[in-house]
Amino acid sequence: MVDLGFGISDLGRKAAMLFVAGLLVVLVGCSPYRLQGVVVAGEMPGVEVVNQNDPRLAGTGGGVAGASLVVLLDPERLSPKRVGEGHTDADGRFALPIDTFGAGALMLDIELRASRPGYLSVSERMQLPGGNQRVIITVLRGDDPQKFESDDILRDTLREAEPFLRD
């Protein structure tokens, strides 16, 4: 053993460094991530990922208050997991806590849905933006023929097939 002058052996120092590194991974992986942005009314519907300093986020009106937002993890799966939901504030802003490991640090596939009565719904499949990015969701005024009833395709399919499965 090598004495480093602090009464800690070389092996003890490596163990301590490994413990600290593991602790940092746990803290970063468990830190709360929020998907943040704004919902605005516009002429072209869509979702845009922008830098947190984008001037359009400051907004001078045009935000859509009371829009419902849902975030689904792994939207390609038959039963995607709902990891975030909430509503916009009076200025159309939102900050949704995302309840999944690695949010904001790992590349996760999501589907972001926004809806509000009097506006057409918007749905976008994308990668979860990083911590220094924000989302601008543009919605159009109008009656929405596409309502998001459920996010569980398997359950919906089985419910619709039930009359045909009975003996």
For the chain, domains (ranges, CATH) are 1-31 (no CATH), 33-147 (2.60.40.1120)
Q: Distance between CA atoms of 74 and 70, rounded to whole angstroms?
A: 13
pTM: 0.70
Q: What is the distance, to the nearest Å, from the Cα of residue 146 to the centroid of all Cα atoms in its chain?
A: 21
Give me the amino acid identity at 40: V
Q: Distance between CA atoms of 113 and 94, rounded to whole angstroms?
A: 13
Give the pLDDT confidence score for residue 162 in this predicted structure: 72
Give me the amino acid identity at 68: S
Please give the torsion angle defined by the CA atoms of residues 62, 53, 44 and 85, in that order, rounded to the nearest 10 degrees. -80
Give the pLDDT confidence score for residue 147 in this predicted structure: 60
pLDDT in tens, the chain (167 residues): 455 555 567 777 777 677 765 655 554 545 589 999 999 999 999 999 999 999 989 876 789 999 999 999 999 888 899 999 999 999 999 999 998 888 888 889 999 999 999 999 999 999 999 989 999 999 999 887 666 555 566 766 776 677 777 65
Residue 143, CA distances (Å) to 63, 123, 167 in order: 18, 16, 41
Closest CA to 111 of 133, 143, 79: 79
Give the pLDDT confidence score for residue 42 in this predicted structure: 92
What does DSSP assign to residue 82? E
Q: Are the C-beta atoms of 129 and 108 separated by less than 8 Å?
A: no
Residue 96, burial from CB neighbour count under 10 angstroms (0-12, 13-18, 19+): buried
Give the pLDDT confidence score for residue 150 in this predicted structure: 58
Q: Are the C-beta atoms of 157 and 145 separated by less than 8 Å?
A: no
Residue 35, burial from CB neighbour count under 10 angstroms (0-12, 13-18, 19+): buried
